[in-house]
Structure 1
């Protein structure tokens, strides 16, 4: 690391220290820690809610619509969507492969529901 980089870092640190010059070091660190935790919790809960809505919307779409819809997301967002759906996705996979994995998972969920209900559907058709 060169001296110019250290100088730049110390200038940023000086701004923080001036903001907290009326406090003790412990109070400053506790305040910074609390602010970081609040920021992280807010960001995580917002992302989870957003992805839950994305999943709900996507389940009502056909494959082409869902593909177009998911193309608007970044690769990192697709990984989060997959994680919420309990799909193990790899970061090294291409965006297209991530999208296909998510869509396939959604379509199989519908298929599994149909398979689970086929006995009752068969009985209903026999009664008619």
Structure 2
């Protein structure tokens, strides 16, 4: 992690990203999560998406709802729904996008549940 921070300090963001992601492969993904959120906040959507996708490709499920939120904001509701469903399959019931999309959740077959009360 120290080497990644040093690369970042000298302005080599891509190499720093790569080093952070390599550290995430060994279970230290929190810094990459925060880095992706900072990228998004700073307006670097491409950088945020690249980091989040890499984490998701490594098996980390936390980025799925973040990816879905970004895709939805970009107008790709089909991809957003696919990602929200993947996140839900892994137990992430993020209130931001899922509750708007499926206010009563999904049934066991993956269809929107009806209000039951």
Instruction: State TM-score, norm by structure 1.
Output: 0.25
Rg (Cα) greater in structure? 1
| Greater relative contact order structure (CA < 8 Å, 6+ sep) | 1
Instruction: State TM-score, norm by structure 2.
Output: 0.27
Higher helix share: 1
